[in-house]
Structure formats: structure tokens, C-alpha cells
Chains A and B, each alone.
Chain A
Amino acid sequence: MATEAPAAATAAEIQTVVAARLLRAARSVFIGVGRPSTAAILARELYNPDLVLVYESGTIGAKPRRIPLSIGDGELAETAEAVVSVPEMFNYWIGPGRIQVAFLGAAQVDRLGNLNSTVIGDYEHPKTRLPGAGGAPEIALGCPEVIVIAPHDARTFVERLDFLTTVAAPSAVITDLGVLEPDPETKEMTLTRLHPGVEVGTVREATGWDLAVADAVTTTEDPSAEELAALRELIAR
């Protein structure tokens, strides 16, 4: 019986692989849980074994074998090079810019790449109370490079944030449809890359502002069989 060919990559898998590829040459990355964490663990396993993973719980150089549910899972502390207090993490490591890249998510992203993770609706009487800032504002300020990872839909990519939690100024916003990068002049997040099979019109419809599109939009290289197999194996662990 012939082996079944693996299923084609989903939009979420492509997003994760694209984020992981950006860490090929990075020295250190600051990550929260969810897709950013999966991408960073994948990058360490596939392309960059020396990549230093830093979680805001205080674990520096964690080497998780499995995707942690929380940023404070025991495996992170047990495999870390150093485990530090929260004041030390922010004041000695993040603030002075010792962690090179930060992966951040958010509930809302605006055209400059600013983030909202505080409330939907009015602050005093919110329609939805979100978790709040966490480490994001000072992580974005301290880390030399910020990459935002978010699902691409018009609820997330909004003309106006309900609350400005984090001034992120990202070098890239990686979505499940493509990649936005700041225009060198205006700093406006501009569509520069589409994931395989995605049309410009689809991205425009999923964006709450009149999305700028680069003159030459490239297409994301399909995840290789090796990348896809490694990602699926990691998630299944």
C-alpha cells in the first residue's frame, strides 16, 4: 500500500513556518505562548540550534522539547541557562536591549503596527475586557527588533485601535495571509508578500484600512516537506 502524501500546509502552518524562518540568523528571541512559541521552538530545532529562547517568566535559554501551555511551565525552568526574577528580566535583560528579537501578538493592530491587548470598546465600560499589557510595552521598547504575529481579519487589522497598549514599530507583521512591512518613508504597514494561493484582494478585504501594497509583491516559498513534518511532529509531541 502506498504511503499517503501529507496534507497540504494550512494557513496557520504557513504563518508559523514563515515566523520560524525569520529566526534563522537571530541570536535571541523573546516569546509568549501560542504560535510565536511554536515558531521559535521550530526555528531552534530546524535552522538555529544556538537560538536563545527567552520567556517573560524569567527563563533565559530555555530548551523545551514540547510546546508549553504557559510561559511558566516547569520544563522551561528546568532546561534554562538562567532563571531570573521578573524585575531582573525587565530591568537587566529586556530594558537594555540584550534580547534581539521579540515576537508579539495582539487583539488589534493598526496601520503603523501599534497594538491593543487591553479592551474592545470604551476603557471605562469595555465591551470586551482583554488580558491587558503584560510585558508587551517594554518588550517592544527594549528589544531591537519586533515582529508581530496575528490572524488576518478586519476585526484585528483596524483603522483605529480601541486602546493603544504597545507602540510596537514592528519590522514585519506576519499573518495567515501574507507579510506586511513598514514603508521606508511613511512607516505604514505595507503588503510585501503573499502566502501561496492568496490574492491581494483577499488581504485587502481582511484589512480594516485602505491597505498599501508594495510595487513588487513576492510570494512566500511553500513550506518544505521537512519543515512541515517537523512542525506537525512538534505539535503532536
Chain B
Amino acid sequence: MSDITTLSEAVEELVHDGDTLALEGFTHLIPFAAGHEVIRQGHIELTLVRMTPDLLYDQMIGMGCASGLVFSYGGNPGVGSLHRFRDAIENGWPSALEVEEHSHAGMANRYAASAAGLPMAVMRGYVGTDLMAHTQVEEIECPFTGEKLVAVPALDLDVAIVHAQEADREGNVQLWGIPGVQKEAVLGARRSLVTVERIVERLEPRPGAVVIPGWAVDAVVEAPAGSLPSYSLGITERDNDFYRAWDKLSRDRDEFRAWMDEHVIEGAPA
């Protein structure tokens, strides 16, 4: 059974400076509330892992939480650039950011390998691209057929944080809609935190849902609307206007910091 606790306690207990940390959610169910708590607790030198850094990692990078980033697509979906991500890579602001990038398939397979407890995953891809020379990938030969394939290393995650629609009082978690790589992230990390929209008496079966038993999760926290401005299917809607507005809010360093101070640092939950 996982601990049902508060966001500040859970982050305090599970996240430490220097950790390799994955906050997952593929466009859907992005754990913004938990990421904001990591920012408020002032964690530094994190290696942030995420397929699509999205606005949340733009905020965490701009607030100086990260010294490393492992990712596969760093854009504001449908809008354009992530300006804090770009400023960190292009100009080292607020501090240098060491980048390791993959393709989506590479990242997905790295998560799957970590969930399986394997050192690597085998796949087709990367060959002929410049990514080969710039990231962790090696050509290998299939011992059965001789086919040339590539191997990518499993992710080595200290902590995974994901958001779901529901948990019951035992801390069993259920999420539905786009499942991303959340299950792989939770099972692949040494410690895990799941924030949920609501705690319910009983999980009702839903088509296509992903269920993670409470005993496979360290902490569960109720965080209503905790994935906004992304969304939790059936409960909250994606705030597309905010995604568009972020393009302007985040361009200027001072304007960005002022926005974060007002809405995240001082906007701390009781």
C-alpha cells in the first residue's frame, strides 16, 4: 500500500538535489502541481528526463532546477519554441544545461527497458542519422538472424512522478485516455509519486485504463486540477489558450521570473 500524503511531504521525502527525475505524461496528465512543488522546494542540479519537456520543464529549467535534460522533443506543441529551454541551451541561462537527446522511439524503449529491469532495449532506428554520434546508442547484431539493430541503454531513474485521474484509499491508481509512458516511468524508477485528481472509495473499471497497484507506488497525493494547463481526460480540459500565451510570457527572462514568482512561488498551496 502506498502512503497517501500531502504534496509538500511527498516531494520532500522523495526528491533530493542531484536526482535523476522523470515527470511524465505525453501531452495528457502532465504533473504540473508536483513539478511546481519541486520548484518551490528549490531543488537544484536535477537531471530532468521527459520525452516532451513541454511547458513544465521549460518552467523548471528557467527556475534553475536542472543541470541536465534527457528528452526527445523540446517544443511547445502546435505553438512553437520552448523559450526557456532554448535560452538554456543557446545561452546557458540561468545555468548550463547538459543535453542528451533521443528519438521518441528511443526514449520509449529506454523507459520500457528500465521498467523491465533490463540494461538496454533493442530496436530499429538511428542508423544513418547524426543522432548516432551525439547520443547513447550502439549498433548491434541480432544473434539469431544477423540483422543489424541498435541498442539504447535503460534509463536510470531515481524518481518518477506522474499524474492520474483516480486512486482509491489503498493507493491503487487508475488513469485513462492517452497513457504515454507513465506506467514504464513508475515501474522503472527507484521511487515514485502519483498525484491524482481525486481519491475514491472504489476504482470503477474503464475501457483502456492503466491500473498501477498501490504497492508498486511510494506515495499518492490528491492534487485536484494538478495537470493543468495540460489535462486529465474526463475531468479537466487542456488550456490551449495558456499554451499559446506561454509563448509570449516566457520569451523575456524577467517577465518569465515575475510570472513564476506570482503564480508558482507565491501560489503555494496551504
Which residues of B102-143 have CB atoms within 8 Å of chain A's CB atoms?
102-109, 111-112, 123-131, 134
From known contacts A71-B27, A132-B73, infer whether A126 and B130 are also in contact, taking CB-CB under 8 Å.
Answer: no
Question: A77, A87, A142, A164 — which one has the most chain B CB atoms within 10 A of its CB?
Answer: A87
Return the contact of A138 from the options B77, B105, B184, B230 (Cβ within 8 A).
B105
- Whether B73 pairs with A131 at a CB distance below 8 angstroms is yes
Q: Which single member of B104, B108, B131, B177 contacts A77 (CB below 8 Å)?
A: B177
Known interface pairs A70-B27, A118-B130, A164-B130; A85-B184 also in contact (CB < 8 Å): yes
Q: Mind listing 16 A-B residue pairs with CB under 8 Å?
A: A57-B26, A69-B78, A73-B240, A74-B237, A82-B208, A86-B104, A91-B109, A123-B130, A130-B75, A131-B73, A131-B75, A133-B73, A133-B102, A137-B126, A137-B131, A138-B106
Residues on the B chain within 8 Å of A90, using CB: 104-105, 108-109, 123
Q: Please, how many angstroms separate the alpha-carbon atoms of A59 and B101 in the complex?
A: 24
Cβ B104 vs Cβ A134 within 8 A: yes
Residues in A neighbouring B90, C-beta threshold 8 A:
126-129
**Nearest 7 interchain pairs by C-beta:** A72-B27, A131-B75, A134-B73, A70-B77, A138-B105, A90-B105, A69-B78
**A230 in the interface, Cβ–Cβ < 8 Å?**
no
Residues of B64-84 at the interface with A, using a CB-CB cut-off of 8 Å, are 71-75, 77-79, 81-82
Chain A residues, Cβ within 8 Å of B134: 123
Residue contact B26 to A141, C-beta cutoff 8 Å: no
Which A residues are CB-close (under 8 A) to B183?
Answer: 85
Report how many A-B pairs have Cβ atoms within 8 Å: 169
Interface of chain B, main secondary structure: loop
Count of chain A residues near B, Cβ 8 A: 49
Asked if B11 is at the interface of the complex by the 8 Å CB criterion, the answer is no
Contacts of A126 in B (CB 8 A): 89-90
Instruction: Tell me, in angstroms, the Cα distance from A78 to B237 when the chains sit together.
Output: 12
> Which residues from B are CB-within-8-Å of A165?
129-131
Asked if B77 and A71 sit within 8 Å, CB to CB, the answer is yes
Among A86, A131, A136, chain B packs the most CB atoms within 10 A around the CB of A86
Residue ID in chain A nearest B75 by CB atoms: A131
Q: Which of B123, B231, B238 contacts A95 (CB 8 A)?
A: B123
Kindly state whether residue A175 has any CB partner on chain B within 8 Å: no
* B180 shortest CB reach to chain A, Å: 6
Enumerate A60-102 residues with CB–CB distance to B below 8 Å. 68-74, 76-78, 82-87, 89-91, 94-95
B109 touches A133 (CB 8 A): no
**Residue in B101, B128, B184, B240 whose beta carbon sits within 8 Å of that of A167 in the complex:** B128
A62 to chain B, nearest CB (A): 11
In the assembled complex, which residues on chain B have CB atoms less than 8 Å from the CB atom of A57? 26-28, 178, 180
What 0/1 readout, one digit per residue, does chain A (109-138) give for beta carbons within 8 Å of chain B? Answer: 000000000100001001111111111111
CB distance B181 to A138 under 8 Å?
A: no
Check if A77 sits within 8 Å of B130, measured CB to CB. Answer: no
B104 and A83 contacting across the interface, CB-CB below 8 Å:
no
Q: Known contacts A84-B179, A89-B108, A129-B86; can you find 20 more A-B pairs with CB under 8 A?
A: A59-B178, A70-B243, A71-B27, A72-B77, A73-B238, A73-B240, A78-B177, A85-B210, A91-B108, A95-B124, A118-B101, A128-B86, A129-B89, A129-B90, A132-B75, A133-B101, A135-B105, A137-B125, A142-B124, A165-B130
Give the distance to chain B from A95, nearest Cβ to Cβ, in Å.
6
The answer to whether A58 has its CB under 8 Å from any CB of chain B is: yes
- Chain B 22-33 interface 0/1 with A at a Cβ cutoff of 8 Å (1 = within): 000011100000
Q: Counting CB contacts under 8 A, is A166 at the interface?
A: yes
